[in-house]
Amino acid sequence: MTDAAAANTDTPSTATVAPEAMHWDNRARRVVTIYVPLACFVFILLFPFYWMAVTSFKPNAELYDYKTYNPFWIAKPTLDHIYKLLFDTAYPRWILTTMTVAVCATVLSLFSSVLAAYAIQRLRFKGSQYVGLAIYLAYLVPPSILFIPLATMVYQFGLFDSPIALILTYPTFLVPFCTWLLIGYFKSIPYELEECALIDGATRLQILRRITLPLAVPGLISAGIFSFTLSWNEFIYSLAFIQSSENKTVPVAILTELISGDVYQWGALMAGSLLGSLPVAIFYSFFVDYYVSSLTGAVKE
């Protein structure tokens, strides 16, 4: 009787403790499987930007004396590196050139990709699937191989050392991916909408302009973000086709103009990288909602 009573006495306490133990077990599992990996990912992703920002505002004395100063913090912030970058170099001209090239190449690539993707997906001519696959395979060709024949064409057309050379060569790697992306997006738009417009007498261009493109705005913005980012950060073509200092883009200029022999101007280099990344970050912040919606699909039937 005593053992039975003891067992009956322990039973409620066990039933009471079990849910709490399960709750703490689930919380610990969530911390280990979600929050710890996420924290590591965020740290690894953001630490280079933090180091870049800290280096941009550090005096030279703190940059080269880690025994006296903390390498992860700033004792006496300074704007000397940013001032030197903006007023002692052609950095504003580099930013303007990079912006012009990126915007023009993005617009040209989107225009070509929209026409190609719509023709492949909607006109349904013989072999359209193979054409779409061939366009995507062209994207897989490394730029380090393409720039060799492109350099010959740039020289022959007299475009060497001109931003126009970059505007015309960047679509060679932008158009294939944007076309492949828009093909999938146009496929998710109900074709019945276009059939109704065709019955009402609308032309293909009218359908594309008034029906398809308004519904494909998230896909267009997604392709535009991709094109703008790659154009802004492109290095190989800009290094090969541009020689004069005033026509260089930011990724090439900060590497070639801010290094004198074996002397690296780390403060100016990091300031140039920090200021050069701001336009892309601002561009993303304006269109992030459209970009996310483009990843979840278009109008469904």
**Topology of the domain covering 89-295:** MetI-like fold (1.10.3720)
pTM of the model: 0.80
More confidently predicted of 224 and 71: 224
Of 295, 298, 267, nearest to 74 by C-alpha is 267
**Which tokens is 180 given?**
């492949």
282-299 tens-digit pLDDT: 888 777 776 666 555 544
Indicate whether 157 pLDDT > 70.
Answer: yes
Total length of the chain: 301
Average pLDDT value for residue range 188-203: 85
**With DSSP H G I counted as helix, E B as strand and the rest as coil, what are the percentages for the chain, rounded to 5?**
80, 0, 20
**CB count in 10 Å sphere of residue 186:** 22
Which pLDDT band, with edges at 50, 70 and 90, does 112 fall under? very high
Burial 122-158 (b: 16+ CB within 10 A, else e): beeeeeeeebbeebeebeeeebeebbeebbeebeeee
